[in-house]
Amino acid sequence: MNFYEEWVELDLNPIISFSSTGKLVYSNQEAQFLLSRIKQKELFDLALKYAPKTYGVETTYIDLSVKNYTFYAVTVKYHDEDEIHMKLYKSAMVKKDSQLSTKNTNITNIFTLVDLAISTKKIKSEARFIKNYDPSIPEFKINASEFIKALNLIYDAFHESDMLTTSVILKIGEYIRINGKKHSIISVEVLSSTKCCIEGFEYKDENASFIVTKDENKIIIDLPLILK
């Protein structure tokens, strides 16, 4: 990696390149955190929206809030029909995502932890709990107590739901970079069958080992797949 590639990689603003069909071609470290919260297509559509009308580059000042991000400007560049490049400028008023921590993590079976949380909530809830697990996911490093705490808070946020589906899946084509190393993402998604008010839900931990995102009728925990 040369100087300029490393400079782009370490930029605190998301930098993303797409193919003409919306396929992800490149994303720097900050963009990878963004992509773990926002669908790739949404960002591609954003690039198209603010793209210059002819070949070249254009910067537009905006006031855009997406999940827990706020952006004040976007630069879009393309010089042919094959690729389009976008840089989003984060507002200085927004707290920067803290570096994910691997402290207090141990090799653990994630399905056992999810089952434990569900069993506890079933006692006091009338909701129907559905489980959708990918059995190929191996045991990996998790801060078990922190994970259980977050999952319990999520189930509490959906206390008005009739049915909750908890899926544990491996995200294909996405990863989290920690200390310069890429890790695949295990996603735990709790989806409500009914619309619930989860505006008040918030999870904060300065030493978090995972990312929590809420999106209408679902809340997601993304964990780095660290095997040793």
For range 154-174, the mean pLDDT: 88
Residue 87: beta bridge partners? 15, 75
pTM above 0.75, yes or no: no
> For tokens 């090799």, what's the residue?
107
Round the average pLDDT of the chain to a whole number and report it: 87
**How high is the pLDDT of residue 34?**
86
Q: How many residues in total does the chain contain?
A: 228
Domain with CATH 3.30.450.20 in the chain: 3-90
Q: Three-state SS for 109?
A: coil
Confidence of residue 95 (pLDDT cuts 50, 70, 90): very low
Q: What's the pLDDT tens digit per position in 33-85?
A: 888 878 899 999 999 999 999 999 999 998 887 766 778 899 999 999 999 99
For range 178-200, the mean pLDDT: 83
For range 106-128, the mean pLDDT: 93
Domain with CATH 3.30.565.10 in the chain: 106-224
**How high is the pLDDT of residue 96?**
37
**How high is the pLDDT of residue 163?**
92
> In Å, what is the CA distance from 118 to each residue of 49, 125, 155, 157?
42, 10, 8, 14
For range 108-113, the mean pLDDT: 96
**How high is the pLDDT of residue 5?**
82
> In Å, what is the CA distance from 22 to each residue of 32, 39, 43?
16, 11, 9
**How high is the pLDDT of residue 2?**
78
**Range in 64-73, 80-89, 108-117, 161-170 with the lowest mean pLDDT:** 64-73
Ramachandran class of 209: left when φ > 0, alpha when ψ lies in -120 to 50, beta otherwise: alpha
Q: Where would I find the H helices in 82-194?
A: 110-122, 144-157
Q: What's the pLDDT tens digit per position in 198-227?
A: 777 878 776 788 988 887 788 899 999 999
Decide which of 95 and 174 is more confident: 174
Among residues of the chain, what percentage have pLDDT more than 90?
Answer: 50
**How high is the pLDDT of residue 94?**
36
Contact yes or no for 154/219 (Cβ under 8 A): yes
Q: Which secondary structure element, helix H or strand E, spans residue 180, and what is its range? A: none
Please give the CATH number for the structural domain made up of 3-90.
Answer: 3.30.450.20
For range 181-194, the mean pLDDT: 88
Joined tokens for residue 10: 């370490």
**How high is the pLDDT of residue 160?**
84
Q: Which secondary structure element, helix H or strand E, spans residue 59, and what is its range? A: strand 56-66
Top-level class of domain 106-224: alpha beta
Please give the Cα distance from 108 to 27 (Å, whole number). 30
Confidence of residue 147 (pLDDT cuts 50, 70, 90): very high
**How high is the pLDDT of residue 21?**
94
